[in-house]
Amino acid sequence: MQHYPFIEVSTACSDATRMEEFWRDMFDAQVIFRGNMMGQPFTRLVACGITLVFREDPQFRPPPGPGEEFFFREHLGLRVKDLEAAITELEAKGAQFVLTPAKVREFQQMKKDDGRKFLETTYVAPPLTPERIAAGEFKIDVAIMVGPDNLWIELNQISEPADTGWFPYG
């Protein structure tokens, strides 16, 4: 079977220049191309180990913004070694965090009206087990910041046992 390494995410935006500036300012992105694609401005940059392509689209509709969005279903996830340090660094650059580890812990204690938990995992792939997770062998702490066009960027600090290796830190 061929090897298929993941190289890019391409998404619509309202302003490619603004998106480029955000990624350059927050994550030291390197712009590798910019111009027009099918008559619409675009920028292609390398940030966080991946190529991101942002194309202006006159029909683009951003998702709900801070205070209106609570599910963050569509987001880009980044792995960090130290979540608190990453939050501090990015806030110093002007980042706005809409979800913090403290808020996630609060959600995890809440139950929905029907008594269900905020997060219910129904399957855990071997070699991990629910018991190993409960023992603290696997843990993810999360924070979410907002970018232009309400692009949600999730930061993940992951602790996992050596026998999984699901989330390599590159």
Are 64 and 40 spatial neighbours (Cβ–Cβ below 8 Å)?
no
Token pair 């963050």 in the structure block, residue: 72
Look up residue 53 and give its two tokens. Answer: 């392509």
pLDDT at 153: 96
**Domains in the chain: ranges and CATH:** 1-59 (3.10.180.10), 62-170 (no CATH)
* DSSP letter assigned to residue 114: T
CB atoms closer than 10 angstroms to residue 167: 13
pLDDT at 170: 61
pLDDT at 120: 81
| Range 70-81 average pLDDT | 90
| Range 63-75 average pLDDT | 86
Mean pLDDT of the chain: 92
CA distance 34 to 55: 10
CA distance 122 to 28: 38
DSSP 8-63: EEEEEES-HHHHHHHHHHHH--EEEEEEEETTEEEEEEEETTEEEEEEE-TT--PP
pLDDT at 169 over 70: yes
pLDDT at 150 over 70: yes
Look up residue 6 and give its two tokens. Answer: 């993941």
| Range 76-85 average pLDDT | 96
pLDDT at 60: 95
